[in-house]
Amino acid sequence: MAEIKSSRIEVSDGALIPDKGEHSLFSAWRLAFFGAIGVLILLPVLSPDPYLDIIKFIPDGILKTFEVTVLSIIFAMIIGLFTGLGRISRITFINRLATIYVEVVRGIPLLVQLFYIYYALGKMVQLPRLTSAVVAMSFCYGAYLGEIFRAGLQAIPKGQMEAALALGLSRSQAIRKIILPQTFKVIMPPVGNEFIALLKDSSLVSILAVSDLLRRGREFASTSFRYFETYTVIALIYLVITLFLSKLVALMEERMQHHER
């Protein structure tokens, strides 16, 4: 019987990442990205009412979406760093605590966490809507980034730590000065993918009345009753943003690989 070789299948919930080896004018990424931009330009020209009105109504929602996303990914990176270090810690209590955090958070849907932090915890600590959204997004994605940090830390050869200890550095100094700088280079592409996923998930904060892109679209649709047209524009804007960010992630990954050669 012929031996069957196992292969690893990677599936991401991020946007379509352009293949750096594909330079065709009609690549899938180019067709999707420029096609979405073309439709966004064409719709207001052909039908100013309501498409032009929609586009004029939602710019502040786009800014709020980026505000929530950027703040959340910053705090999630901090949480993820400490979680990843906790996951590889030799101290049983810290290791177990970080592992429980990862398992519990990844087992609860983000939407439930948003409701819980804003409504349930709101009985004890009253948080503004935007703060609640950022806390929930950071808390949730911190668990996922914690696993990325853990994998990145474990990907660094053990000889690096042994060499640092042999030079007289303590374990904490070796991690801070030698291991972490290399880890950040390893994890940047998957962190970029998580940033894109977080941007899309930020649409959930509209349930807390945060005036993000989706919330502004819902407000326009509820007053004009043009639901199809409104959500068409919202979907196209999300598509353009995520595809643009996916291109940046691909360029960043290609540049990092080029520097490693």
Ordered by start, the domain boundaries in the chain are: 33-260
CATH 1.10.3720.10 corresponds to the domain 33-260: yes
Distances, alpha carbon 242 to alpha carbons 36, 74, 100, 253, in Å: 11, 18, 31, 16
pLDDT of residue 79: 96
CA distance 53 to 59: 11
Q: pLDDT digit string (tens) for 105-138?
A: 999 999 999 888 888 877 787 888 889 899 999 9
The pLDDT value given to residue 17: 55
Distance between CA atoms of 10 and 69, rounded to whole angstroms? 24
pLDDT in tens, 141-193: 999 999 999 999 888 888 888 888 888 888 888 888 888 888 888 888 889 88
Kindly state the tokens that stand for 105: 């958070």
pTM of the model: 0.84
